[in-house]
Amino acid sequence: MAATGVLPLSAAYIKWRSGHFDLEDVVTLQLNGLAILSLSVPSSVLFRCVNLTSLSLRKNELRSLDGIEALPLLTHLDLTDNKISTLHPLSFLTALSELHLANNSIADLKQLDHLKPLSELRSLSLGPGRGNAIATGDRHFIAVPEMLPQVLVLDGQSVRVAKVCEQVVLGGRFE
């Protein structure tokens, strides 16, 4: 399937990938490595998957998440290996509990402010050493727990363990 710059999907393709006849029945979908450039196609068939809770868009060419808010039931979203730099559209996905963002183009920690409304978010992957400037070094292990106290697991590591490491490094006491 050639990359066209829009979501290269049809209802038949999603039905085939998911194993469901009705798009309304699709709850889990993997659309990895399809060279998807954008989700913001007004008539996108993806948004007819109204009960979608798990979506993987790994290894695409996404630069924007505009339109993702049309999938409010998402609890698991994998956007690893794309070109995303802004997280604003994610602020509408209030059911989201697991989010993978490794190897994108997120350069500013302020982008994480868009994740504050996600009260169910428990696991966040920024992929240290894998593309995101905010995940270079260990500074995000200190900043993220302060910005997003609901997150319990950061880059596969318990946030509590990260806090203990921070206290050791800063010479603080254990609480």
Per mean pLDDT, which range of 17-26, 68-77, 123-132, 165-174 is the poorest? 165-174
Best CA proximity match to 76, nearest among 91, 98, 52: 98
- Ramachandran angles phi, psi of 124, nearest 5°: -130, 130
**Spatial CB neighbours of 16, under 8 Å, sequence gap ≥ 6:** none
| pLDDT at residue number 137 | 78
Q: Are strands 153-154 and 157-158 parallel, antiparallel or unpaired?
A: antiparallel
Spell out the CATH class of 52-170.
alpha beta
Is pLDDT of 175 > 70?
A: no
| pLDDT at residue number 2 | 41
pLDDT digits (tens, 9 = 90+) for 96-107: 999 999 999 999
Look at the block and give the residue holding tokens 């998807």. 36
pLDDT digits (tens, 9 = 90+) for 40-90: 765 578 889 999 999 999 999 999 999 899 999 999 999 999 999 999 999
| pLDDT at residue number 3 | 43
**Spatial CB neighbours of 8, under 8 Å, sequence gap ≥ 6:** 1, 2, 34, 35, 36
Is pLDDT of 125 > 90?
A: yes
More confident residue, 36 or 175: 36
Whole-structure pTM value: 0.86
Q: Report the alpha-carbon distance of residue 80 to residue 104 in Å, rounded.
A: 7
In this prediction, residues 141-160 reach a mean pLDDT of 92
> Across 104-171, where does the E strand assignment appear?
123-125, 153-154, 157-158
Per mean pLDDT, which range of 60-74, 109-123, 154-168 is the poorest? 154-168
Give the number of other CB atoms < 10 A from CB of residue 174.
7
| pLDDT at residue number 128 | 72
**If you average pLDDT over every residue of the chain, what do you get?**
86
